[in-house]
Structures are given as C-alpha cells and as structure tokens.
Amino acid sequence: MTPPPYVPGHGLLAGRAVVITAAAGAGIGGATARRCLEEGARVLVSDAHERRLAATAAELEKEFGADRVEALPCDVTSEDQVRALYDRAVERFGRIDVAVNNAGLGGTADLVDMTDEQWGRVLDITLTGTMRCTRAALRLMRDQGSGVVVNNASVIGWRAQKGQSHYAAAKAGVMALTRCSALEAADFGVRVNAVSPSLAMHPHLVKVTSEELLEELTRREAFGRYAEPWEVANVIVFLASDYSSYMTGEVVSVSSQHA
C-alpha cells in the first residue's frame, strides 16, 4: 500500500520558536523540522553530526529563508552542549515555544551478550539525553508560563522484541519521564507529551537493522507498509499545536500494528 498524499501546512505553528534535536538527515527529526517550518514556525535544528546538520540547515534555509532557520550541533550526552543549545534558541528567537526531543540511539544485542558500555550508551542518549533536553526546556518555559515539549518514544517501550532490552528500557523510561514531568509542568502552564512510532523508515534505521527484521516488522503493520517520517511528524505538530491544548502526559501511538 502506498502512502497517502503529503499534507500541506495550515499555519498551526505560525510565529512559534521550535527546537528539534537529531534533526539532520531524512529521519523523523528532519521531517519534523520541515513540517514545523511549513506550519509557520521558526526552527533551531540540532544534531550531533555536524556535516549532516550543516547540509540540512542549508537546504531548509534555501527553501524557507535564513531568518527562520538556525542550526547548532549538540550532543545530548553533554549537559553543557544542551544548555548552549537552549541559550542559542533564546538568543536567536527570544523565547522557546516548542521543544521536540528526538535524539535516540538503537542497536541490537541479546542481554546475555550485552556489555555495560552498550547498555549505558543507549540509555545515556535515548533516556538521559531526553531528560537533559526536557529539563533545559522546562526551566525556560517555566519563566515564560507557556510552552510545549514533545518527546519521541517508541512502541517498543510497550511491546517486547528480542535484542532490544536496552532500547526498550530507554523508551519505556521516556514514556514515564513524559508522564511525570507533565504533572510538574502543568503547574506553570506547560504541556509535555510524546509520540510512540512503530516503524518509520529512514536511512539510519536501514543501517542498524537487518533486512530480514525490517521485512518482518513491515508485515506486522496493518497497512502492510512502514510509516513515512512525515507521517510521524504530523502527529508531533499536532501535539505542539493548540489543537492538543487539553493533552498532557500522554503517549500517542503512531502505529498501524495489529493489536
């Protein structure tokens, strides 16, 4: 089954300032940056891969204008770099309306063979990195009295899969972090939600996942196809917009998998 037609922008984020991690390339982060710009936002894109980030930023600037696009490399395992990222956003845009925490690291390893280093690396980027970025955003949004955080979780935080103990634990942690921080942030008018995609195809996923596993996961999808990254980005935009004004602490599954 082929994907549906691309949905045009409707000004859902007009004038808002958005920070997106892991936004270089053709994955969910890059698709989200484009969707936010199409919806009228100003966007600070970030990624640990400087060359890919520069290429992504140049492409977006050419299409949407340099006045609406900023880029800064950031490794979410570094508290100093995370702080610098949000400082740059405030310096450039004057405020932060939306933070999309997309950075994560996967991999496949059975627990009996997994090293502490493998476990720790995935948890540090995927869970602790999301915590660092959420914390930085909330500190600024608390003073503003408004803002939205959208985290990227995964259905694997709910569903078991061999070789994914570290990644599943990290994504389940992102879900719990989302729910708990949302209750705290509600006290100062800020919402925190998450998306939980099943299978969104992008070049990095192909590099770290076997062809056999990708085919198996695709067969499980009710539509018989994987999601396009922009289909996940659409839901992120919904959660970032006023259309989800009564939603906080929610994890929205972006999936066509059988129950």
Q: What is the pLDDT of residues 112-141, one digit of tens each?
A: 999 999 999 999 999 999 999 999 999 999
| DSSP alpha helix (H) spans, 39-107 | 50-64, 79-93
b/e burial code for range 26-47 (CB count within 10 A of at least 16 → b): ebbbbbbbbbbbbbbbbbbbbb
Cα distances from 1 to residues 4, 133, 193, 223, 224, in angstroms, run: 9, 37, 30, 6, 6
Name the stretches of the chain with pLDDT < 70.
1, 201-210, 212-214, 216-219, 222, 257-259
Active site residue 246: no
pLDDT given for residue 207 in this prediction = 47
Please tell me the predicted confidence (pLDDT) of residue 197. 93
What backbone phi and psi angles, to 5 degrees, belong to 101? -95, 95
Phi, psi of 121 (to 5 degrees): -65, -45
Q: What does the pLDDT read at residue 259?
A: 41
- CATH code reported for the domain at 17-199+228-248: 3.40.50.720
Residue 218 pLDDT = 66
Q: Can you give the pLDDT at residue 206?
A: 44
Residue 246, Cβ density class (10 Å: 0-12 exposed, 13-18 middle, ≥19 buried): exposed
Total Cβ atoms within 10 A of residue 217: 17
**Rounded CA gap, 125 and 123, in Å?**
6
What is the distance between the alpha carbons of residues 128 and 105, in angstroms, rounded to a whole number?
Answer: 11
* Signed CA dihedral, 59, 93, 37, 46: sign only: positive
Selected catalytic residue, list 6, 86, 167, 243 = 167
Please answer whether residues 200 and 232 qualify as being in contact, where contact means their C-beta atoms are separated by less than 8 angstroms: yes
